[in-house]
Amino acid sequence: MKKLILGFIALLLITALNAQDGIKAQRQAAKALGSFNLDPTNNKEKLKEAVDEIMVAEKDPEAGKMAKTWVTKGEIYNEIANQIVAIRQLGIGDEKSLPQVEHPAQQAAEAFMKAFELAEKKYEQKDALKGMQIAQGNLSNMGIYMYEAGDYAGAFTNFKEVVDIHDILKNNKEKSALDAEDDLNNQLYITGLAALNAEDPAAAAGFFQKLYDIKYEKPAIYEALYKIKSDETSPEQAYSYLEEGRKLYPDDVSLLFAEINHFLRINKLDELIDKLKMAIAKEPDNVSLYSTMGNVYDNLYQSAQKEGNTAKANEYFENAKKYYNQALEKDPNYADAIYSIGALYYNKAAAMTLELNKLADDYTKEGIAKYEKLKKEIFAEFDHALPYFQDAEALSPNDINTLIALKEIYARKDDLEKSNEFKKRLDIIQEGGTVDSSYFQKKN
């Protein structure tokens, strides 16, 4: 029994010693941070020491339950974030000289939140809230750096924590960096944008909905809610946001383009024409608008042709060609327009071929004459298409559709050498390879 009692006492002693190690590490971390703050330029090693010591303290079962451990951690990581901001803003110093920790502003904020949860005394709560106030600025700056670097998910996490801390501070009647209404609304806005760019519409929805409800004056809110609701419901149901935004901000080009993309998405081509004309008036040098208008008329032409409305089909065909050519006037090397004109003629010839097949069984003199006349017209359309496909191939030798068109046209012209050449190139690409150089050189 005596041996068992002695063993129990030894266990208590070891546990007590371990607890003392954690508390000592917390004190050492606070002391090292104090030394660094006395001379930040020459005491960089003290900041690294503070990180090492606080990592020991936070993992300790006893010290990890103490609010001051987490306040100390928050202060250390806040200082690391402060140093990074100063280096980036002033261009003086080197981030490599600082402790290499991940997301210091986030870790600081989360440490203060934990300290606030563990706080048993009023002053401990005050220390945690004061630390959160400082963390807000660092989170905002780090979020901006991440956003500019294209790390939208990271930016969203930082921006969201700025808002979360604001809520905690306000619930405890403390000042926040977002006390001004404009500052809060702007923070909600950039947080929503970061989430949307991070392809997390569910996370973005709440922020934009709050701004929509107060009629915050930013056109992008309506575009964002349209995108979000399109995924949740359907583009048709979500369109009301775009419609409302367009009424409020009729001169906003981004909303206009979103509306154009909406009508393209649901294939309402007639509605697109007026919208595209408005967009062209606003951005007359935007080549893609002319090409898009050409595509709209091209699709309308194909629909009218299928319906047998020859007059409308011809009208749409000429309009498509006109807008494609206007795109090429702006940019002679605009590959989409070059290919599209070739495809316009090619598809016309292909449709005529269906009529030719109907005449193939008519062996009367009149039938043969009609057959030969239509065949000649078809070849003329393929001949119209050919130089555009040649130029398209010169600009983009690995485009599959261009190669298919060239292969087919040369086969119809009985030029099997060229047809086989483009079949070889097509096979290479379809097997996962690439063609090193184009067959043709662009003519102008």
pLDDT digits 0-9 by tens, 261-320 = 999 889 888 889 999 999 999 999 999 999 999 999 999 999 998 898 989 999 999 999
Angstrom distance (rounded) from CA 331 to CA 117: 63
Q: Across the chain, how many H-helices and E-strands are there?
A: 18, 0
Percent above pLDDT 90 for the chain: 66
Q: Cα torsion at 175, 177, 178, 181 (round to 10°)? A: 90
Q: Is the pLDDT of residue 9 over 80?
A: no
pTM (two decimals): 0.70
Q: Which DSSP category does 233 fall into?
A: S
Interval 338-355 mean pLDDT: 89
For residues 19 and 266, the model is more confident at 266
Q: How confident is the model at residue 32 (pLDDT cuts 50, 70, 90)?
A: confident
Q: Both ends of the chain: CA-CA distance in Å?
A: 103
Angstrom distance (rounded) from CA 243 to CA 238: 9
Q: How confident is the model at residue 25 (pLDDT cuts 50, 70, 90)?
A: confident
Angstrom distance (rounded) from CA 54 to CA 291: 61
Q: How confident is the model at residue 362 (pLDDT cuts 50, 70, 90)?
A: low
Amino acid at 100: Q
Interval 318-337 mean pLDDT: 96
Q: What is the pLDDT of residues 65-121, one digit of tens each?
A: 999 999 999 999 999 999 999 888 888 888 888 999 999 999 999 999 999 999 999
Lowest mean pLDDT among 319-328, 361-370, 377-386, 395-404: 361-370
The predicted pLDDT at position 11 comes to 42
Could you tell me where the DSSP H helices lie in 91-234? 104-118, 122-148, 152-171, 181-197, 201-213, 220-232
Chain-centroid distance, C-alpha 284? 26
The predicted pLDDT at position 23 comes to 87
Interval 226-249 mean pLDDT: 91
In whole angstroms, how far apart are CA 320 and each of 74, 117, 301? Answer: 63, 66, 8
For residues 3 and 180, the model is more confident at 180
The predicted pLDDT at position 20 comes to 66
Instruction: Estimate the crossing angle of helix 235-248 against helix 220-232, to 10 degrees.
Output: 170
- Token digits of residue 362: 């008519």
Q: What is the pLDDT of residues 392-408, one digit of tens each?
A: 999 999 999 999 999 99
3-state SS of the chain: helix, strand, coil percent to 5? Answer: 80, 0, 20
The predicted pLDDT at position 12 comes to 42
Could you tell me where the DSSP H helices lie in 233-334? 235-248, 253-265, 269-282, 287-306, 310-330
Residue 91 zone, left/alpha/beta (φ > 0; ψ -120 to 50; rest)? left
Interval 30-51 mean pLDDT: 89
In 3D space, the residue among 315, 320, 324 whose CA is nearest the CA of residue 391 turns out to be: 324
